[in-house]
Structure 1
Amino acid sequence: MMSNLFSSFDPSTSLYLSTNWMSTLLGIMIVPSAFWLVPSRLNIMWTLVINTLHKEFKILIGTPTKGATLIFVSLFSFILFNNFLGLFPYIFTSTSHMVLTLTLALPLWVSFMIYGWLNHTIHMLAHLVPQGTPPALMPFMVCIETISNIIRPGTLAVRLSANMIAGHLLMTLLGNTGPFLSLVMLNILIIVQILLLILESAVAIIQSYVFAVLSTLYSSETS
């Protein structure tokens, strides 16, 4: 019996270290095979995705620094692997917890802020007042822009974890009603679950892309 609605997402194993978090490394174990196996259709497709993301992130960043897009492509890949692994039964969804999402968002935001304020101080100050703001509203705009800048890592983390929890929670609630349904309703439930699984697959891709793109946009504002 669950003590509350969200207890199904709590880590269930805890000896000295919760082994649920080991699922975070499963996606990394898949990567090295692409370096020594003959490229398959999956490898070619993934390479095409990476090259497309690299070109798009390069445009968003707007700086000629070599390798600047690698961190964001790696971030996209890491989140995408973990989102998809969470769709498999009995695999811990690490991206549905703020512990992981905030760990990804906060260091990136802090590093962008430190770099921007140390190297482009005037540019960072100019960002606090949008162009065309009346002089009377400038103090209020500075406060609003400062608050919106501070909550950026929190919104990144909450957006990813909330979207992953929402779909998984709905699938869990519908799945728990299965033993109490008739045969006709059970068939309808299976169809609904399959549709939800397709939707969650799309959400897994979209949320990893949104996280990486927003991080890229935040970094472009500091240069």
Structure 2
Amino acid sequence: MMLLYAVAAGDADSTAATEGTPLRAHRYDEVTLFVEPITEAPERSTREVFAYGRALHQLWSRFPVLPVRFGTVVSDEAELEQLVAEHGSAWTERLTAVAGRSECIVHLPLPRGAVDGTDKAEQRGTGYLRRRAAEVRSHERETAELKALLAPYASELTDLPQLRPGEARLSVLMADDVVEEVLAAVERWATSRAGATVTGPWPPFSFCQEVGA
């Protein structure tokens, strides 16, 4: 049995990437798959998930990879070869799309007063509802502005699920050589928008179309 970690290009230099780890590289014409030989299915614990994530980041530090959904296993090499036969071309195309690129996430929270308030009676009033609607519309305009600002730099731009009510989270895939320029542009834009922040750059896992068997 093998636990799948990631897919890389067929010519990825896997020797240094797997040295000192339990990972093994299976190289095919189009892609290289990184796996760990196991005797039983992995535990879905926080410790195991974090260890899995660290291994993925270690691989990405050496070359682009597509992460495999945690817990994905194959029984033997024949099943691994079948996966490659079915998905190898699509994986290669996606690897090309993320090579030489990073991901930044821009957070634009909804103004706090639009989400909560201290006066519950006021929250039920017509004035409050009108003010809240105006704040939401303003937030939508700012989100559109932000997307327009990022568009010239972005290879791809996607909306991420909200972590807090009303928050816009935009994930931007960009060439590595424009990351600093993008961070500076967003910082300038955010000077008059309280709460707008950027995290990253990260490996562009939001754009990797996570692999699953």
The reply to whether TM is greater than 0.5 is no
TM-score by length of 2: 0.27
TM-score by length of 1: 0.26
